[in-house]
Amino acid sequence: MAIQSNNKSAKTTKAPAPAPAAKPVPAAVKASPAKEPAKAKAPYEPTQEEIQTRAFQIYLGEGCKEGNDLEYWLRAEKELRR
């Protein structure tokens, strides 16, 4: 009968090779936001209530002169749209 040796230490195993290092990404590429087309900002549109309130303030400031309703309204709209 032959005796077989179970000596595993006799075998050498090769360690796996380390993964290649990732190349660094330039900071300009990392931080660049997605470019979107420039949108025109819509002008502010005041509500009728805001215009009415401002027109009344103008009316009071002018000494409660009657007959200038349209003038006060248009002036209030112009002021609020700035």
pLDDT 10s digits, 30-77: 555 667 677 777 777 999 999 999 999 999 999 999 999 999 999 999
Rounded CA gap, 56 and 59, in Å?
5
Residue 53 is encoded by which pair of tokens? 């309130």
More confident residue, 16 or 72: 72
Q: Which residue type, as a one-letter code, is found at position 13?
A: T
pTM value? 0.50
Burial class (CB in 10 A: 0-12, 13-18, 19+), 1: exposed
Residue 12 is encoded by which pair of tokens? 């050498």
At 78 the pLDDT is: 94
- The closest alpha carbon to 51, from 32, 17, 78, 30, belongs to 78
